[in-house]
Structure formats: C-alpha cells, structure tokens
Amino acid sequence: MKVRQLTYKLFFILGFLLVSSLGFSQSDKQKQLESRRQELRREIQKINELRNENKSKAKSELSLIEDFNYKINVLSNLIKVTNQQANLLTREISSNQNKISDLRDELKQLKDDYAAMIVKSYKSKNQQSRIMFLLSSDDFKQAYKRLQYIKQYSDHQKQQGEIIKAKAIELQETNVRLLKQQEDKKKLIAENRVVQKSLEAERKQHQTLMASINKNLSRYASQIRQKQREANRIDKEIDKIIKAAIVKSNKKAGKTTSSKSFALTAEEAVLASNFISNKGKLPWPVEKGFVRLGYGTQPHPIDRSLKIQSNGVRIATEKGAKARAVFDGEVSEILKMKNVNPIVMIRHGNYLTVYRNLSQVYVKKGDKVKTKQAIGEVFTNPSNGETILRFTLSKGTATENPASWIYKM
C-alpha cells in the first residue's frame, strides 16, 4: 500500500513539473508573439502616418507600388502572428480545461478522504479513549510511539485541510486564467478580421495600380533600369573612396597597400571591437521610420524579371528627420557628387556606415561623433513629399545587412 502511494506521489510530482515547464514555455512564446504583434502594429501606424503626411503629394507609380507592397507584407505578417497567438491560446485553453477537470476530481477525492478522516477522528475523539489507547501499551516505548502517532494523525488532518484549501485556490485561479484566455482569443480574432479587411483593400488598390502600369510596362522598366544604374554609379564611387582610405591607412602604418582591410591603431581596434559587441543592438539611423527596401538582390515589385541590387536599406521617415550616427566614430568623408544629395561616411575602426540622401550636413571630415548624434537632415522630395534615408553598413568594402546590426530592423 505504501509503495503504491509513493508511486502515485512520484508520478504526481513529475506530472506537475512537466505541466509547469510546458506552461512556462507557452507563456514565454505568447510574450514573444505579443511583442512581435505590437511591433507590426506600430510599423503599420508609421506607414499610415507617413501616408497621411504626404496625402496631398502626387507620388510616382513606382513609389506607390513599393508602399503597397511593403504595407501588404506587414499586414500579412500581422495576420500570421495573430493567428499563431490565437492557436497557442486555443492549446492553453484546452490545457487549462483539462487541468480544471483534474483539479475538480482531485479536490473531490481529497474532500472525501478528509470527511472519512474526520468521522474516524470523531469516533475516537473523547479524551478517555486516547488515555486508554496509551495506557493499554505493553511498555513505555510503545506508549511513546502511540503518543507520536496521535500527534502525527492530528498534524496530518491539518495538512489535508491546507492541501484542500490550496487546491481550491488553484482551481479558482485556473478558472480566472481560462476566462481571460477565452476573452483574449475573442479580441485577437476580432482584430484579425479588421486587419484582413485592410489587407483586402490594399490588395485591390495594388491590383488596380498594377493593371494601369502593365499597359505601359516597357516605360516603367526603362525607369527602373535607369534608377539601378544611378545607384550602381554611387555604390562604385563609395567603394572607390573606401579602397583609397584603406590604402592610405596601410601606407601610414607601413604595411602593404594591397591589403583589403584597414590598418588599425590601438584606439581604432578597441572601437571596432566595441562596434562588433553591439551587433543587433545599434540604434536606428533615424528616430522614426520603417524599412521600405531591404538589403540584397531582389526582384522588382513591378517587373519581377528585373533585379534590384540593394547594398543597404531604404528607410522612409518624416519630413525634417535627422540622420543619426549609429555608433561612435570619425567622419571619414563627406561626398558631394553631381546630381546626388550629400553623403556622410563614418568610420568605426574597420567598419563604416554611410548615410545617403541628405539635404543638410552638420559635420565635417575628421569630426569625432557619438552614438545618436545628428549628422544631417534627410532630404524631402518636394514633388512627392517622400523623405528617404539610404543607409549602408560595411566591413571595409564588403557590405553587410544592416538588419543584422540595427535593433529590431
């Protein structure tokens, strides 16, 4: 009998630990999903704010398609994350319903056992019975053991009472949690319906615009190629300047000028190390904004046979936005090219960050800058009201994806 009770207790403890660990992991997952959902909601809010700000401006079809594509992508992700949350809540609700059922059964058994114990205790309650139980002992040792038994039995009654009380509280708390989860699920489903309608409206507008563009696709394709050629020209110029800076640093250090990386001083080596240690935690190069075009080679949203080569990211921001240094460093170059808005290049040891499409520049070559220091104002296109910062990050001449470095990009 004792072995069976011990086995039952062991299985109960293991089951409790398993359910607890599962509950914690589900709770952590729910928090992560909620955090991601709120990020996407904030991003949609930024997109809507910038759209409203530029409502009176006539945007080009290319810009509008980029806007639609980006918002459709964010809305789709929001629906996906919300569905994941709702599905996780469904599993948690089911788990809690099973737990409530088990707790009720367990509580009933505990109460039945406790009632039987009370009845038994009542029958042998009078003091004379207890005294006779002790006096009928064969010796002092047996009398002592019987006294201990009486005390343990009394303590056991108290413990059972406490266990029943604790189980009743646990049952009540689980019920409250279940009701909240059911309410949360209802809210998520209702919110998703609203987002779904918004997504359908965006897709309809996107389809209407694409139908108009497809009537004269060759003209738009020509514009796309021209824009890519211009971007490539600027990228080559930046690449040439970085290579020249590398040669200069190696020459100064007395090293071979054929090296593809900067020769670092002790101070620069520390700066580079600090820059690396902050990977994924660097602040955004603007205070408010969202990435409208990501890093890398990707098909153009209008003509998927055409490829966009993006060495950095394009960030849509608000009019008058300031470009900010993402880390401590030194202004290595201020580029002023024909028909191109000013560009600021900041060196962080052997890493560089480049801030393109500025209307004003607040720094000069050789200046030491601090993290989040304003280095210029982002240019706002007067014809369409767009304020776009082009941001690039590289190690030497090798560009890297800014999303891997900037916090929650």
User: Quick one: 185 and 316 in the same domain?
Assistant: no
55 vs 41: CA distance, rounded Å: 21
User: Quick one: 263 and 397 in the same domain?
Assistant: yes
Q: Is 114 helix (H, G, I), strand (E, B) or coil?
A: helix
User: Quick one: 251 and 186 in the same domain?
Assistant: no
- pTM of the complete model: 0.70
Q: Please tell me the predicted confidence (pLDDT) of residue 3.
A: 45
CATH of the domain at 284: 2.70.70.10
The neighbour count for residue 351, using CB atoms within 10 Å, is 20
191 vs 294: CA distance, rounded Å: 28
Helices (H), 253-289: 266-277
Asked if the structure places residue 119 within a domain, the reply is yes
Which is nearest to 342 in space by CA: 350, 329, 354? 354
Q: Dihedral, CA atoms, 54, 57, 63, 66, nearest 10 degrees? A: 30
Asked if the structure places residue 409 within a domain, the reply is no
User: Quick one: 199 and 300 in the same domain?
Assistant: no
Indicate the number of domains in the chain: 2
For 279-309, write each residue's pLDDT tens digit. Answer: 999 999 999 998 989 999 998 888 888 888 8
User: Quick one: 300 and 240 in the same domain?
Assistant: yes
Range of the domain at 300: 224-404
Asked if the structure places residue 219 within a domain, the reply is no
Q: Please tell me the predicted confidence (pLDDT) of residue 396.
A: 92
77 vs 156: CA distance, rounded Å: 56
User: Quick one: 159 and 193 in the same domain?
Assistant: yes
For 209-229, write each residue's pLDDT tens digit. Answer: 999 888 888 888 888 888 899
Q: Please tell me the predicted confidence (pLDDT) of residue 318.
A: 92
- pLDDT under 70: residue ranges of the chain: 1-26, 56-58, 114, 117-135, 137, 146-147, 149-151, 153-157
User: Quick one: 368 and 285 in the same domain?
Assistant: yes
User: Which tokens belong to 109?
Assistant: 């058994």
